Amino acid sequence: MNDDIINLEEINLESLNVGDIIYGDILMKEKEGIWLDVGGKYNAFLDIEETTKEFRKRLEKNQIKGPIPLLIEYINYKEGVIRVSQKKAVEKQTWDNLILAYENDEIVEGRIKEFNEKGFIIELEEGVEGFIPNNLIDIYRPKNPNTYINKKVNARIIKLNPERKQIILSVRRVLEEKIEEKRQKLWEKIKDAEIVRGRVKDVSEEGLKVDLGFGILGFIPYNELSWFPIKNIYRNFQKGDIVKGKILKIDNERREVEISIRLAQPNPWEVFLEKNPVGSILEGEIVKITSGLVVKVNNLIGFVPPSEISWGRIGNIKEDFNVGEKVKVRVIEIDKEGKRILLSVKRVEPNPWDIIENIVQEGSIVKGKIINITDFGIFVEIKPGLEGLIPKRLLSWERTISLENNFKIGEYIEAKIINIDKDNKKLLLSRRELLPEPWKDISRKYKEGMNIKGRILEITPQGVIIEIEKGVEGFLPNSQKAKDDELELNQVLDLKILSINPSLRKMILSRKAFIREREELELEKYLEKHIPPKVTLGEIINFKGGKS
C-alpha cells in the first residue's frame, strides 16, 4: 500500500494531512456532492465537480460499490469534516502507477485521443494524458494519422516528468519487442526446419533475396533456383512472389539463411529414371532439329542421334520432321550425373529384319520406293530398314539399256520376292516375274525354219544377240553369218530360225540359211523365166506321128 494512504480506524483526525489518500463509503447523495463515511466518527464531503466522468456515470446508475479512493483537500478539525477529491485521488494513483511502470519498464495502455503536427495525444487514465511522437506511433511513419484516433494501444514510457505532468511514450517500441519476440520464435523454428517459405524482396543476376518473416532474410543463389538452366531470371521471378526452398546454410549471428529452391523439389532426373527406365516408350515433342532431333520428354530434354531416327536410310531430317511435332521415342540411355537422355525413334518398332517372317515371305508381291539406281540394278525400300535389290536382268523380260531413263528415284514399283537372306539382311526381288512372259506362247508364234526379222542388240565374240520382239531374243552364231555381212547395233536383219528351245529360252538363228534360201528362190524364178519347158516322151511320139 502507498505510504500516503491512511487507515482512519487506526489514527486520529489530527494525524491526517492534506494530500493523503483515504477510502470512504457513500452515506448520502446531495445535489452538490456526496457524504462519505471515512471511518470512525469522521465524515468526508466529495464535491461532484471533484469526480471523474466515469465515476459520475456509474454513480447515476448506482454502480458504485466498495470503498472509494479519495484525496484530502481540506480538514475542519473543529467540526470533524474533511473535504476530498475522487478525481485527484485517481490522478495521483495513476501517476503513481505510471512512475512504477516507468521504473520497471512496464507496458501501459491508453486510447489515442487526438493528433497534431508533432504527434499523438494519448489518454492513459481520466485526466492523465501523454504524448507519442509521429515516428513512435508505429513501425513505419503513419501515412494517414486519422486511422489511429480512438484506437487503444499498448506503449512504453520513454520519458516521465511528474512535476510538469509530462509523459512521452512509444508504441513502436512495444511493436518492435513483439516483432523481436516473434522473430526469435520464428528463428528457432527455422533452425529446426528443413523447408521454408518466403516472399521475394529483390531479384538480381546473382539470385533472390527472400523475406522469411519479421525481417529474417534468406538468399537463393542463381544455381539453386532450378534443376534446369534459367536464361532470364527476371522472367521467372518477380518481387512479391512466394517461394519454397530447402535450407542449405544458417548464419546465427546475422540471422540469415541460404536456401535452395532446386533441392526443395524432387530431382527430375531421378524421377524420370524411376518412372521411365531404359527401354520405356513415351511421347515427346520435337523442340529443335540439328544433326538429330532434340526432344522434350516429361519436361526434360533428350536427344535422338541420326543413327536412331530410322531403321532405313535418312534423307533430309528437316523434311521428315517438324519442330513442335509429337513423336514416340524409346529411352536407350540415361546419364543422371551428366543430365543426358539418349532416345531412339526407330527402336519404338522392332528391327524389321528381326521379324522379317512376319512381314514378307518368298513369293510375296510387295510395293516399294526406289531409293537407288546402279549399273547392276535398282534398290527398293519396302519399309524403313527393309530394302531389296532388283537386278538388272530381273527388271524386265526385255533387255534394258539404260536404267536411269526408265526408272526414277522416289518412284514406287511392284516386285516379287525371290529370295530372303535373313543372316545377311538381303532381299532379292524381281519385277520381271510380274510381267507377261513372252516365251510362254513362243511355240505357237514361231517355228523352226521360219523366216523372221530381228534387231541387233549386242555383238559378242561368239556371235550376235538379236531381239525378235520385246522379251524374246535369239542368237546368231558367227558360223551362221553371211559372208559379206557388215553388222552394227540396231541394224534389222532377215534371219531363219534354226532351232527353238522354249524351256531354256533359246533360239538359234541363221543369216546364212536365210540368204541361201533366198538365192535358191531367186534362181528358181530365173530358170522359170529363161529355160524352155521340159518335153515329155508322149509329146515326142505325137510329134513324129504327125510327120508321117
Residue 424 reports pLDDT greater than 60: yes
Grade residue 533 by pLDDT with cuts at 50, 70 and 90: low
**Closest-CA residue to 399 (of 462, 468, 457):** 457
**Maximal C-alpha separation, the chain:** 235
Domain boundary among 434, 460, 491: 434
Residue 409 and residue 483 in one domain: no
Domain boundary among 151, 176, 201: 176
Residue 292 reports pLDDT greater than 50: yes
> Contact at 8 Å (CB) between 89 and 120?
no
How far is 509 from 477, CA to CA, in rounded Å? Answer: 7
How far is 26 from 63, CA to CA, in rounded Å? Answer: 12
Q: Side chain identity at 152, as an amino acid letter?
A: K
In this structure, is residue 458 part of a structural domain?
Answer: yes
Distances (CA, A) of 308 to 10, 232, 289, 313, 510: 111, 33, 14, 11, 60
How many domains does the chain divide into?
6
Tell me, what's the pLDDT at 432? 87
How far is 4 from 84, CA to CA, in rounded Å? Answer: 14
Residue 223 and residue 257 in one domain: yes
- Structure confidence by residue, pLDDT tens digits, 7-55: 444 445 566 788 888 888 888 888 889 998 887 667 889 999 998 888 8
Tell me, what's the pLDDT at 525? 83
Cα 9 vs. chain centroid, distance in angstroms? Answer: 90
In this structure, is residue 380 part of a structural domain?
Answer: yes
- Structure confidence by residue, pLDDT tens digits, 163-204: 888 999 999 999 999 988 988 888 888 888 889 999 999 999
Distances (CA, A) of 292 to 268, 284, 285, 296: 24, 14, 13, 13
Residue 493 and residue 455 in one domain: yes
- Pairing relation of β-strands 166-170 and 195-204? unpaired
- Structure confidence by residue, pLDDT tens digits, 150-159: 999 999 999 9
Residue 86, classified by CB atoms within 10 Å of its CB into exposed (0-12), middle (13-18) or buried (19+), is buried
Residue 328 and residue 376 in one domain: no
State mean pLDDT over 382-386: 90
Residue 450 and residue 509 in one domain: yes
Q: Is the dihedral of CA 517, 523, 529, 535 positive or negative?
A: negative
Query: What count of other Cβ atoms lies within 10 Å of the Cβ of residue 27?
Result: 13
Mean pLDDT computed over every residue of the chain? 88
In this structure, is residue 188 part of a structural domain?
Answer: no
Number of H helices and number of E strands within the chain? 11, 30
In this structure, is residue 7 part of a structural domain?
Answer: no
Tell me, what's the pLDDT at 534? 67
In this structure, is residue 2 part of a structural domain?
Answer: no
In this structure, is residue 538 part of a structural domain?
Answer: no
Helix, strand or coil, per DSSP, at residue 173? helix
Tell me, what's the pLDDT at 1? 40
153 φ/ψ angles, rounded to the nearest 5 degrees:
-135, 160
Residue 447 and residue 521 in one domain: yes
Residue 19 and residue 72 in one domain: yes
Q: SS in 3 state form for 232-259? A: CHHHHCCCCCEEEEEEEEEECCCCEEEE
Residue 209 and residue 227 in one domain: yes
Residue 405 and residue 465 in one domain: no
Residue 447 and residue 422 in one domain: no
Among 163-167, 396-400, 496-500, the minimum mean pLDDT is found in 396-400
How far is 500 from 448, CA to CA, in rounded Å? Answer: 7
Among 91-95, 105-109, 281-285, the minimum mean pLDDT is found in 91-95
Q: Which domain holds residue 146?
A: 105-176
**Closest-CA residue to 362 (of 383, 385, 388):** 388
Helix, strand or coil, per DSSP, at residue 20? coil
Domain boundary among 346, 375, 399: 346
511 φ/ψ angles, rounded to the nearest 5 degrees:
-80, -35
N residues, the chain: 548
- Structure confidence by residue, pLDDT tens digits, 197-243: 999 999 999 999 999 988 889 999 999 999 888 889 999 999 999 99
Among 76-85, 456-465, 477-486, the minimum mean pLDDT is found in 76-85
In this structure, is residue 547 part of a structural domain?
Answer: no
State mean pLDDT over 431-459: 89
Residue 360 and residue 415 in one domain: yes
In this structure, is residue 545 part of a structural domain?
Answer: no
Residue 506's CATH number: 2.40.50.140
> Cell 512509444, residue?
170
Tell me, what's the pLDDT at 189? 87
Residue 250 and residue 298 in one domain: no
Tell me, what's the pLDDT at 254? 85
Percent of residues, the chain, with pLDDT higher than 90: 52
Q: Which residue has the higher pLDDT, 414 or 15?
A: 414
How far is 223 from 228, CA to CA, in rounded Å? Answer: 9
What stretches of 48-188 adopt beta strand conformation (E)?
68-76, 81-85, 107-115, 119-125, 128-133, 152-161, 166-170
Q: Side chain identity at 181, as an amino acid letter?
A: E
Query: CB-side exposure of 355: number of CA atoms within 13 Å?
Result: 7
